[in-house]
């Protein structure tokens, strides 16, 4: 009986000592998972934005020259589409979707053969590249690491074919 009582006490002590560690790990894992989900959803939004903008071709130029060239408003189209597709994530972000879209670095390479100064890549076809810093709210990280907002960088590039 004495032995059982001792083991019970040890088990209770182990539980009490380990429980905070396990709880912190669990909360951290769930928060990290949530940040990954938001980042992936934002990447989908960026992909949709660049594809939509790249489809916005200069029709008059295409009719005249028979070649693809991005419309002058391609950048606005990319930002508008990005903001619209970020809207479901509004509750997860520290800034509004329109503010995130407005501050995104959108580069429009209207003709092929241009070099992107940011990525160093040369695009053979007309291309839209979007880079954005996403301020994701992380309330659990705020408690654990004093980090209420985690910045996630996303990059998306689409070329016309």
Partner 1 sequence: MIVVLLPLLFAVLQFGDAFHRWLAQDAATAHAARYAAELGGDAPEVRALLAESLRDAGIDPERARVEVVPARVGWREPIRVSVRTDHTIAIPFALTTVIPLRSSAVARGELAR
Measured CA to CA, the distance from residue 5 to residue 14 in angstroms comes to: 14
Q: Which is nearer to partner 1, 41 or 110 (CB)?
A: 41
Strand 114-115 relative to strand 149-159, pairing: unpaired
Instruction: By CB under 8 A, tell whether 144 contacts partner 1.
Output: no
Would you give the binding string for partner 1 spanning residues 60-89, x where CB under 8 A is met?
Answer: -----------------x---x--xx-xx-
The structure tokens listed for 108 are 């429009």
CB of 156 to partner 1, least distance (A): 12
CB of 83 to partner 1, least distance (A): 9
Instruction: By CB under 8 A, tell whether 110 contacts partner 1.
Output: no
Measured CA to CA, the distance from residue 73 to residue 82 in angstroms comes to: 14
Measured CA to CA, the distance from residue 117 to residue 160 in angstroms comes to: 19
Instruction: By CB under 8 A, tell whether 29 contacts partner 1.
Output: yes
């Amino acid at each position: 009986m004495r032995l059982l009582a001792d083991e019970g006490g040890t088990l209770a002590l182990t539980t009490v000592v380990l429980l905070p560690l396990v709880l912190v790990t669990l909360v951290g894992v769930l928060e990290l998972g949530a940040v990954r989900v938001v980042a992936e959803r934002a990447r989908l939004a960026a992909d949709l934005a660049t594809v939509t903008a790249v489809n916005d071709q200069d029709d008059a130029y295409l009719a005249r020259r028979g070649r693809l060239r991005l419309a002058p408003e391609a950048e606005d189209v990319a930002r508008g589409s990005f903001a619209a597709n970020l809207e479901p994530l509004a509750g997860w972000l520290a800034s509004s979707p329109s503010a995130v879209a407005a501050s995104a670095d959108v580069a429009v390479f209207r003709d092929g053969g241009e070099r992107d100064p940011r990525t160093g890549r040369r695009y053979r076809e007309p291309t839209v590249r979007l880079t954005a810093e996403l301020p994701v709210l992380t309330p659990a990280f705020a408690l654990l690491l004093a980090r209420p907002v985690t910045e996630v960088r996303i990059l998306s590039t689409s070329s016309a074919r």
